[in-house]
Amino acid sequence: MAPSLCRTLVFGLCAIHTAFAQSYTEKYRPQYHFTPKDNWMNDPNGLIYYNGVYHMFYQYNPGGNTWGAMSWGHATSRDMTHWKHQPVALQARGFPNNITEMFFSGTVVADEKNTSGFGSRKKAPLVAMYTSYYPMAQNLPSGKSVQKDQQAQSIAYSLDEGMTWTTYDAANPVILDPPSQYADQVKEFRDPSVFWHDATNKWVAVISLAKLHKLLVYTSSDLKTWKHESEFGPVNAVDGVWECPSFFPLAVDGNKRNVKWVAQIGLNPGGPPGTIGSGTQYVVGSFDGKKFTADANNVYPAPTTPKDSVIFQDFEKAGTFTDLGWNATGDFVGAGPANGPINGQQTVTGFSGERFVNTFLNGDATTGVLTSPSFKVTQKYINFLIGGGYNPGKTCVNLKVDGKVVRTATGTNNEKLSWTGWDVSAFQGLNAVIEIVDSLTGGWGHVNVDEISFSNTLAETQKANWMDYGPDFYAALSFNGLPSEDRIDIAWMNNWQYGQAIPTSPWRSAMSVPRTLSLKTINRKTTLVQEPIDNLKSLEKSRKYSRSWNSVQQGDQELDLSGKAMDITLTFSDRSPASGKSPQFGLVLRASADSKQQTRVGYDFTTKQLFVDRSASGEVGFDSTFPAVFYAPLSPGNDGTVTIRILVDWSSVEVFGGKGETSLTAQIFPSDDAVRARIFSTDGNTRNVKISASQIGSAWN
């Protein structure tokens, strides 16, 4: 390789840190989650453990605290708890005024056999593979040409264990275009994940065709020349785009003779049900070095109307809502179901038949309430199709029993109608009505509804295996360089829906806690389990809190427990809901003295779900979708015990349920004085309650 065609990056002027002391005590600054010292951060990149050091590279803007000038930031650690900021590893070419190439997401491997030829027998190179994004058409030093906004795959190498990097300009990009049949996707071809496959003695790269929901598999002997082998997808959740994919093996139940592979896939938007924006799904299957094959029970059909459904209202009859037996107020007086799929410039999809409720009558200025005829709840579920705006309480469908809203649902800022359903078993035998509410006059201020039915089967949105059911877990990546049994993931703890507006300064975004991954058989299915690595003990403060109750009475109780950063484990017995009741149990955390600020973490005994309610968690007004309640499925253990572990930091909660088969991650932005904690039990008492907690200190000190 001619030296004139290589570019050795110069770092002295690009250091993340400066000479003055940094306290890391700014408002909302996480104390044990990684954050950059300043500026914008998103996806973790190039996670690798090498020679006793954990390296975290990440998408970074060296010029500001919103997305832009994508470069690779860098930090190192000996324990994944205490991180040291390093100089920028790969800085956008031409930064700041004439950027010709940005460095998008990718991975780093240790080329121990020096297959690339970048190192020697005595010094193994680290090799990074990343997506080059070209904001302008240009001819490259390699002689290759790229078009405006092209995404292609390039490599760089380091001969000093990741501290400085040289881009392989003699041949970059090493994968210039996607396969010819996907030539039109050249601007949506990104995020390579590279690993060594022992059985075939080859390097493997997994790359996303983002808009087509396909993962392309490539192989190489030297990290320079790549062959396209196969593709995987689309399957399961396919709203938005697929990004940041990876494949990795895990033993099932610790049995090394039974190894399965996991495909980990970022999705934006179209995250878990009840969230808006980003999410991460996984698929369990097999991989032979060239092709990933999903297990049959990991591919789910598109949702349909349950076979045992009894239609309550399908809105197919011509006439007004009053003609259909519904009470109409506001702009809905004299109006009827829509007979056409157009909302302004957007097409509504997913409705059943020819007509449906569309409150976009006079644009988003339309307001009013539609109330159904009264009915007796006779079956376990009420199912319906819903779309439109995500505005809890303002554009929504409600179930009311005795005049009280007991269930509610809203759209996802999407004109597509999707299935949702309520577990109403606690209200069987009671009279109820359904409300369709539109009280918003702008900003996705409408709701679309169709085919309301009663069933003993729950109709769901497109089913997927979700890594995390919260809104703030995206672009997850695991460390190369660790044994398979020590597979450790880190994710971007933010969401593209509002990530650039969160109220932090001078930095934006944090990473999740590192999580150990394993596969366990739960309810006869191979399930991905996540557990926080045991890295917080060194940060625990001396005073620990522990208490138990034979029974916690209905209501709230103040706890002699407070703090902005805590590690809490809560266990309690499952209980059966009484008729007409919907009992819950859990903790109120980061609460102010007047309770106007609080985050509720708990368990719903009727639906068997964990939940995090951040609707009053502090500063929530920067995005209309931020104040919300998020749910995650969790069955009690075989002994009827529910176990919840909660990691609280200055601006986040991460909740792990059961053995770790369920997790839910959410950012919060409470006031500094919102430190109180309470325990609550609704609609009855909760038995056999135990709580243990530790306050967590700063990893920066």
DSSP string, 351-391: -SSS-BEE--EEEET--EEEEPPPEE--SSEEEEEEEE--B
Contact between residue 686 and residue 603 where contact means Cβ atoms under 8 Å apart: no
Cis peptide before 234 (omega within 30 of 0): yes
Task: Round to whole Å and give the CA distance between 623 and 495.
Answer: 11
Closest CA to 666 of 453, 510, 489, 562: 510
Contact between residue 351 and residue 448 where contact means Cβ atoms under 8 Å apart: yes
Three-state SS at 539:
helix
Two structure tokens written together for 146: 């790229």
Task: Round to whole Å and give the CA distance between 327 and 338.
Answer: 17
Two structure tokens written together for 415: 């004109």
Three-state SS at 569:
strand
Q: Count other Cβ atoms within 10 Å, centred on residue 373.
A: 12
Query: Which helix (DSSP H) or strand (DSSP E) does residue 423 occupy?
Result: strand 414-423
43 is catalytic: yes
φ, ψ at 119 (rounded to 5°): -110, -140
Task: Round to whole Å and give the CA distance between 41 and 24.
Answer: 16
Residue 345 burial class via C-beta count within 10 angstroms: exposed 0-12, middle 13-18, buried 19 and up: exposed
Task: Round to whole Å and give the CA distance between 682 and 581.
Answer: 9
Q: Decide the pairing of beta strands 227-232 and 214-220.
A: antiparallel
Torsion of CA 448, 454, 457, 462, to 10 degrees: -10
Phi-psi region of 651 (alpha: psi -120 to 50; beta: other; left: phi over 0): alpha
Closest CA to 480 of 160, 116, 128, 166: 128
Catalytic residue among 43, 314, 567, 604: 43
Task: Round to whole Å and give the CA distance between 202 and 530.
Answer: 29
Q: Which residues contact 601 (CB under 8 A, 6 or more apart)?
A: 586, 587, 589, 610, 611, 612, 613, 644, 646, 653, 655
Residue 123 burial class via C-beta count within 10 angstroms: exposed 0-12, middle 13-18, buried 19 and up: exposed
Contact between residue 203 and residue 197 where contact means Cβ atoms under 8 Å apart: yes
Query: Which helix (DSSP H) or strand (DSSP E) does residue 558 occupy?
Result: strand 555-562
Closest CA to 669 of 630, 615, 631: 615
Residue 162 burial class via C-beta count within 10 angstroms: exposed 0-12, middle 13-18, buried 19 and up: buried
Two structure tokens written together for 257: 């003779």
DSSP string, 315-328: --SSS-TTTTT-EE
Closest CA to 157 of 148, 146, 168, 170: 168
Closest CA to 663 of 410, 534, 472, 462: 472
Which residues are identified as catalytic? 43
